[in-house]
Amino acid sequence: MLKIVKTSLVIAASSLAFSNAAQADGISDALANICTIVQADDKGELRKKMRSVQSDYRLKLRDYYSGISCDGQSLIRTALLNNAVEVGTLLVKKMPSKDLQEPESDGKTLQAWVAEQGLQDSPISAELNGRI
């Protein structure tokens, strides 16, 4: 009886680990072209992508935002660099304001980075300042 319980636990644990790995691969596939969408300033496609990730994996933007890098830049930074105003303002609106104030992977906050890059006149920067 004890062997059956142990075997069942091992099988359950291994299938759970496999499904989590498969789900992580699925999320990566689902978010594969998000950088292209941001660079192209395709707000409708970005909304559709965010909706599908939320319905399929129950993840909101704040859950996967820090894990995505487009040529070493975050999604909002990519939008700023590519003058993708519609997508950039959508991203700023969808992110919690406290997350917008957090330092990114290089240790700089979005506001400090915007000032350093001289992008204060961007509508995305104005939206960012309004949210913080």
Provide the pLDDT confidence category of residue 6 given band limits of 50, 70 and 90.
Answer: very low
Q: What is the DSSP string of 22-74?
A: HHHHHHHHHTTTHHHHHHTT-HHHHHHHHHHHHHHH---HHHHGGG--BTTB-
CA distance 124 to 88: 6
For the stretch 118-129, pLDDT in tens is 999 999 999 999
Which residue has better confidence, 12 or 74?
74
Portion of the chain with pLDDT greater than 90, in percent: 52
CA distance 86 to 42: 8
Residue boundaries of the structural domains of the chain: 1-30, 31-131
Residue-level pLDDT at 17 = 42
Query: Quick count: other Cβ atoms within 10 Å of Cβ 122?
Result: 19
pTM metric for this prediction: 0.76
